[in-house]
Copies of this chain bind each other. A is one copy, B any other.
Amino acid sequence: MKKDERASASFSFTLTAEDAGSFARRGIFKTPSGVVETPNFMPVATYANVRALNSSQLTASGVQAIISNAYHLILRPGREILEKAGKIHAFMNFKGVVFTDSGGFQVMSLSSLRKVTEEGVFFKSHIDGSSLFLTPVSAIESQRIIGSDAAMVLDICPEFPTDYKRLADQMKRSCRWAEQAKKYIDENPYEKQQVFGIIQGGSALDLRAESLEKMMELDFDGYAIGGVAVGEPKEEVKKVTDFTSRRLPREKMRYLMGVGFPEDILYSVSRGVDIFDCVAPTRHARTGTFYTMKEGKINIRNAKFRDDFEPIEAECDCFTCKNHSRAYLRHLFKTGDSLAGQLGTIHNISFYMRFMKTLREKISDGNFSSWSVKTAEIFEK
């Protein structure tokens, strides 16, 4: 038995269809917690909950996987509570697959509260000012306690813009950290979790190539493309996605972090990406921006919806569309109750899941490219 097979006994990633006209591919990611059909989209569950959505609404929406965040979970509820609870699935009562990011993104997003050294990242807690020191090894240990099915190595997500010299330094340090993480994993094997390496290097393709080579040499279970969609122009995101995704090993899962809108997903899938996460559907839902297949995004606060008694989408079979009109939803947003966010999130997450399901079917049917062009137009308006 090869090392890879041993370490992944209870996990597998199998491609089931590949598009003739693009690099789009369909697959199945099997884990002890369930199956993820790819391409797929993970709603963001930073604190072990998808905002405004309860566990049964999550399942009813067709969600197969979510992504949580180790940095935030370490601070709240803390490793001790998660250890006592069993694992994150039990803690939040989610019957599906859980990914966790390591905290590398918070190196960027909480930049005023952290100090990066060669050993790791000192965070000053954004909640109570207490200290947290995250190292490549402790990030893995923490994610084992959290019990996610797929963990990310600790990395440094660069801010945009960052100059070439600094981008290179941060990428090289991320590679050294990944090496330390891999060494720990090899010495302390753990069959219940896969670990993804993260490709960094900003928009500099030579740095991406170097990061990619190093990560592939370390041979992770899957690969994430990190540090995109952090403020750079969309064309840069596309360039990096195109360059990186297709160079990753065919048989392993590819995760594009923090992307995106439907049109971004369509492009990235065409470049071979398998899984995505983004706050867009949940955050938009709470401000009244809803996704539809025919009209693209609509803002329910618009006056034209005040006497529109149709559902958000007639074709949608989510709870919100089956039970409530646009006029009622607009009213809830106007009066400002959290029920507005709840009903909006149910729809947007259901939309994303339906969108990904259709996308997968189009890959199998060989119609991905033509459908993709047509669909992207609706959302790029």
Interface residues of A (CB under 8 A from B): 47-56, 76-77, 80-81, 84-85, 91-93, 306-307, 309, 319, 323-325, 327-328, 330-332, 334-335, 337-339, 341-343
Contacts and interface: CB of A to CB of B under 8 A. Distances in A.
Nearest to A306: B81
A201 to B, nearest CB: 33
B52 A338 contact: yes
Contacts of A54: 319, 323, 339, 342-343
A-B interface, 8 closest residue pairs, ranked by CB to CB distance from nearest: A338-B338, A47-B335, A77-B331, A51-B337, A93-B323, A52-B338, A84-B307, A49-B339
A331 B48 contact: yes
How many copies of this chain does the complex contain? 2
Contacts of A80: 307
A342 B309 CA distance: 25
A140 B138 CA distance: 67
B52 A323 contact: no
A328 B84 contact: no
B77 A327 contact: yes
A306 B77 contact: yes
A60 to B, nearest CB: 11
A337 B331 CA distance: 21
B85 A309 contact: yes
Given A323-B93, A338-B338, A338-B342, A49 B309 contact: no
A324 B55 CA distance: 9
A339 B77 contact: no
Nearest to A343: B54
Nearest to A53: B339
